[in-house]
Structure 1
């Protein structure tokens, strides 16, 4: 059985599970861990990045639907089998602690939960709300 999480590259910690790249490109900065696994099928098409969030999300979800949850599970299970760890952390670049930011890893997480019933928890920092000064 798979246990999926999401995070961003610099916030991943090895105790969280197996890091899995789901981006088109590699991080261009030094990581504190070895990144050996990737699932290119979960990376959005380059053209989608020029689209506003609703169009991006619709196109990416359509791609996921074409691939299907059973095939995606096969790809992810191959990583889990190769590593001997069912905890996979799907990684991309976006810092979701910044208000208003979104990314494909959370679009995938929502899609996966809808299709399989399995929640995919974000392990990285969440947005912080602005502090209201006390008078």
Structure 2
């Protein structure tokens, strides 16, 4: 949708500055020390309080409804403004979950699936994920 940005996802603990601009998409900030500066937050992409602790199917439906209400165009504008400010097209959307653990799931990957459907743009995970293929995207070359 927006050729000026390329989106990735990862967790706070695995992000490295050479991967792009870190962007927090969580309700709360990390309570641990990060080895990089975290200057950007897109609170609109954090899960809502009303469904935050719901089972995965309910959470997914509610989160996707929130994303649809925001709309891909509005989200792209918000993320594009960060990319323009930072003069960097690669944005890495960050949260806490370790997707290398079996049966772990996370809103960042729900967002990635929704974004692909809404825009046709793929959002790759920059860390290991449980399953037959442990990496969706391992490195940025």
TM-score category (smaller protein): over 0.9
Aligned-pair CA distance for 1:49? 2.0
State the partner residue of 1:115: 118
SS of aligned partner of 1:63: helix
Q: Does 1:37 align with 2:46?
A: no
State the partner residue of 1:12: 15
Q: In structure 2, list runs of 5 or more residues that go unmatched.
A: 133-141
Q: Which runs of 4+ in 1 moved over 2 A?
A: none
The structure with the greater share of residues assigned to helix is: 1
The number of equivalent residue pairs is 129
TM-align CA RMSD: 1.0
Q: In structure 1, list runs of 5 or more residues that go unmatched.
A: 130-135
Aligned-pair CA distance for 1:48? 1.5
38-47 or 100-109: bigger deviation: 38-47
Written as runs of structure 1 = structure 2, the 5 A alignment for 1:45-124 is 45-124=48-127
SS of aligned partner of 2:23: strand
In structure 1, C-alpha distance between the alignment counterparts of 2:127 and 2:22, rounded to whole Å: 13
